[in-house]
Amino acid sequence: MFGRRGSGAAAAAKPPTSAASARPAPPAAAAAPPPPPPSPAASAQVVAAVPKPQVQEKAPAKAQGRRSEEYYATKAQIFNALVESIDLSQLSKLERDDARDEIRDVVNDIIALKNIAMSISAQEELLEDICNDVLGYGPLEPLLARDDIADIMVNGADTVYIETSGKVEETGVHFRDNKQLMNICQRIVSQVGRRVDESSPICDARLPDGSRVNVIAPPLSLDGPALTIRKFKKDKLTLQQLVNFKSISPEGAEILEIIGRVRCNTVISGGTGSGKTTLLNCLTRYIDTDERIITCEDSAELQLQQPHVVRLETRPPNLEGEGEITMRDLVKNCLRMRPERIIVGEVRGPEVFDLLQAMNTGHDGSMGTIHSNSPRECLKRMEAMIAMGGFSLPARTVREIIVGSVDVIVQAARLRDGSRRITHITEVVGMEGDVITTQDLFVYDIIGEDAQGKIIGKHRANGIGRPAFWDRARYYGEEERLAKALDAAELGGA
């Protein structure tokens, strides 16, 4: 066995410095450059078996600044000795706490044996750092443990930004060098069976907690690997929370609830990080529990509450470039699975055609999100995506399909002060000549800005007494609630 805590009963009886764990490192190791973390395959095992660290709210953003060269040299010396002493890949067989204890014992022995002068707190810090390197994602760990971060953006070893409460700020977090950063990227993507290197420098992956990861490595990224992580939020925001954040007024939220419930075919439009997926997740809460729902996503983010849900995920090609399953494949397959509603996490390509077909062939209440900055642009994007898919249909026919399929477009936006707002609830009503006609049921007007640069605005209904989905609302017994919400919103909500 590799250490002292690995084998249950024997563990307690072992002397504090076993020959195996305290074997000094070879003299050359002390002068060697910082050692690489364990190989991707071995670390993948380690990481996979290690539960995520406890969530620690609001740790200081600049907790981990650049350390001295001396610190890195000492760490390298101890790390080398540690690698000599224990088989790191075997740590995967232990619980995280046991693995930490194992590392702690060996590191303490090494420090004592090598006569390294260190305060207790410095020793603790070093131990934490080594554990993060061996068991997790190195300097990223403290950021991953925070629940208030939406995105982590690493632009090479020396620059790490985070987004909290809609604001992007630089942290004091650094990697030792681009090599360490690359090793961590490698460790992340190896968990989904991929490699990232010069020959395949772009890679999407997922952390065990569901966070979405993108890596783009040199030579495409010029200043070292660029790593972007969209943190997975276990507790998704609810419509009530969006109301509390003033992303939408209570009346607007009620209209959205009704739209979700009465099976309007809905497209959520918005820019990157504007809150599309969050909004989609909110809308799905109002789907009746007896409906059969199939979700298709690139990376499973939605958390549906209903019991009858089938979740599907696309698959990127493997190293040989084979085995890819696209969103289009999934949406097409969905239609053979007797869905009542189809929910597509993100519509980016020709799958829009299949989703629209599903929407107007009896799968009312299907939903998807599209990257676009206004409801009008969203319509154009859908047309463009159909054209890009190689369907040679006349423009008018494409528009007719869109009009026949989509009932409502909900627009999300991230405003310049970092706040997220629902800016439009727009109905797709018909065609006038060759042009699709829409009507805004509900909009957000920007009025001005306060002294702190926060945007002041107001949500209001547009005075449309009978939306195009009125009959649908009546069919589901929701017309009274809808009329009340529209009247209240017209009088001026939040």
Ligand X SMILES: Nc1ncnc2c1ncn2[C@@H]1O[C@H](COP(=O)(O)OP(=O)(O)OP(=O)(O)O)[C@@H](O)[C@H]1O
Q: Give the one residue of 273, 316, 389, 430 binding ligand X; rule: CB under 6 A.
A: 273
> Among residues 73 and 237, whose Cβ is nearest to ligand X?
237
Find the binding residues for ligand X in span 136-165 (CB under 6 A): 150
If one asks whether residue 277 binds ligand X (CB under 6 A), the answer comes out as yes
- Compute the least distance from the CB of residue 429 to ligand X, in Å: 26
Site stretch for ligand X (CB under 6 A), options 202-210, 239-247, 250-258, 401-409? 239-247
CA-nearest of 313, 154, 146 to 231 is: 146
| Of residues 178 and 277, the one with the C-beta less far from Mg ion | 277
Q: Which does 278 bind (CB under 5 to 8 A by kind): Mg ion, ligand X, none?
A: ligand X
* Residue 183 engages ligand X in binding (rule: CB under 6 A): no
| Minimum gap (Å) between residue 417 Cβ and ligand X | 12
Smallest gap, in angstroms, from Cβ of residue 433 to ligand X?
33
Q: Of 77, 87, 138, 133, which is closest to residue 110 (Cα–Cα)?
A: 77
Which residue's CB is nearer to ligand X, number 44 or number 410? 410
**Residue 242 interacts with ligand X (CB under 6 A): yes or no:** yes
CA nearest neighbour of 127 among 152, 157, 102:
102
Shortest Cβ contact with ligand X: which residue? 275
Binding to ligand X in span 79-108, by CB under 6 A: none
The CB-of-70 to ligand X minimum distance in angstroms stands at 38
Q: In what order do the strands lie in the sheet containing 309-313? A: 309-313, 293-297, 341-344, 367-371, 266-270, 408-414, 420-432, 435-449, 455-461
Other beta carbons within 10 angstroms of residue 74's beta carbon come to 20
* Count of residues interacting with Mg ion (CB under 5 A): 2
Q: Figure out which of the listed residues 178, 183, 266, 274 binds ligand X, where binding follows CB under 6 A.
A: 274
**Sole binder of ligand X in the list 74, 178, 191, 247 (CB under 6 A):** 247
Place of tokens 């209570």: 250
Cβ neighbours around 293 below 10 Å, total: 23
Does residue 275 interact with ligand X by CB under 6 A?
A: yes
Residue 323 falls in which region: left (phi positive, over 0), alpha (psi -120 to 50) or beta:
left
Indicate which of Mg ion, ligand X, none lies near residue 74 (CB less than 5 to 8 Å, by partner kind). none
164 contacts: CB under 8 Å, gap ≥ 6: 61, 148, 149, 150
- Told to check if 277 binds Mg ion by CB under 5 A, we report yes
Nearer to Mg ion, 276 or 381 (CB): 276
User: Smaller CB distance to ligand X: residue 210 or 430?
Assistant: 210
Instruction: Choose one: 168-176, 267-275, 316-324, 469-477; the region binding ligand X (CB under 6 A).
Output: 267-275
Residues in CB range of 383: below 8 A, 6 or more apart = 395, 398, 399, 402
Taking CB under 6 A as the binding criterion, the range among 58-66, 241-249, 314-322, 486-494 that sits at the site for ligand X is 241-249
Stretch that binds ligand X, among 88-96, 270-278, 331-339, 358-366 (CB under 6 A): 270-278
Query: Would you count residue 190 as binding Mg ion (CB under 5 A)?
Result: no
Q: Which stretch binds ligand X (CB under 6 A): 7-15, 57-65, 98-106, 237-245?
A: 237-245
Q: Are 350 and 388 in contact (CB under 8 A)?
A: yes
Q: Is 270 in the site for ligand X (CB under 6 A)?
A: yes
Q: Which of 206, 233, 381, 459 binds ligand X (CB under 6 A)?
A: 233
Q: Supply the minimum distance, in Å, between the C-beta of residue 345 and Mg ion.
A: 7
Site map (CB under 6 A) of ligand X, residues 385-424, x = contact: -----------------------------------x----
Stretch that binds ligand X, among 22-30, 242-250, 308-316, 381-389 (CB under 6 A): 242-250
Q: Kindly tell me which of 83 and 145 has the beta carbon lying closer to ligand X.
A: 145
CA atoms of 126 and 234, how far apart (whole Å): 30
Minimum distance from residue 194 beta carbon to Mg ion (Å): 21
Residue nearest to Mg ion (CB): 277
Take residue 164 and report the two structure tokens written for it.
């909290």
C-beta of 317: minimal distance to Mg ion in Å? 22
In angstroms, give the least distance from the CB of 357 to Mg ion: 23
As measured in angstroms, the least distance from the Cβ of 387 to ligand X is: 22
First to last CA, the chain: 65
Among 171, 278, 284, 299, binds ligand X (CB under 6 A): 278
* Closest by CA position to 47, among listed 132, 139, 133, 136: 136
Of 34, 129, 54, which is closest to residue 96 (Cα–Cα)? 54
Please report, as ranges, the residues that interact with ligand X according to CB under 6 A: 150, 230, 233, 237, 242, 245, 247, 270, 272-278, 420
The residue ranges that bind Mg ion (CB under 5 A) are: 276-277
